Amino acid sequence: MAKDKKSFRDDLEKLAEITDIIDNTILSNGDINIIVELESEEYKKVLSIFGDVYRTMKEIVVDISGTKFTFVLKK
């Protein structure tokens, strides 16, 4: 049986789950900013998902219910 190809939508659903978990803790009263440092190849993959508009961006911010996930290139 073939394995389903993973999509970025699956990853977004997981990030939304993380947001739900944080919302049910004492941390929900603060500003939540999660920084994800990615190696060059992984960062390029994330950039490709968002299209040409983001090609020159130094970071990509995805806001899910007030929790900001910031993807940056690892230095």
Q: How far is CA 52 from the centre of its chain?
A: 18
- Tell me the CA distances in angstroms from 29 to 15, 24, 46, 52, 65, one per residue in order: 19, 10, 29, 35, 13
User: Which amino acid would we find at residue 43?
Assistant: Y
Nearest to 60 by CA among 32, 38, 28: 38
Beta strands in 39-73 (DSSP E): 59-64, 67-73
> Mind listing the pLDDT tens digit of every residue in the chain (75 residues)?
444 556 778 888 999 999 999 888 887 788 899 999 999 999 888 888 877 777 778 888 999 988 999 999 998
- Tell me the CA distances in angstroms from 56 to 16, 37, 40, 44, 60, one per residue in order: 26, 17, 13, 11, 10
Per domain, the residue ranges of the chain are: 31-75
For the whole model, what pTM was predicted? 0.77
